[in-house]
Amino acid sequence: DHSYSLSSGTTSEELLRKLNEQRDIIALLEGKMKEMKGSIRRLRLAEAQLREEIREKDRLLHAASAGTRKRHGL
């Protein structure tokens, strides 16, 4: 709005174009950020499921090895 804040040779139209370009970039990045948050959420759920599967398999292995030791008198 003030002449001292404008660089020499920069018109209002150029500044408006630059502003709109920046807004487009921000909108694009916000969209990517939402996608990435969704990916992170899905990966965390998958990780939790895998950890639960590992715990269950560990329990089964532990129970099986305890049963084997009992049968062999260990």
Neighbour-count burial for 10-29, b at 16+ CB within 10 Å, e otherwise: eeeeeeeeeeeeeeeeeeee
pLDDT at 9: 74
Q: What is the pLDDT of residues 22-74, one digit of tens each?
A: 999 999 999 999 999 999 999 999 999 999 999 999 999 999 888 777 666 65
pLDDT at 72: 66
Tell me the pTM.
0.61
Higher-confidence residue of 66 and 7: namely 66
Q: Which residues contact 6 (CB under 8 A, 6 or more apart)?
A: 15
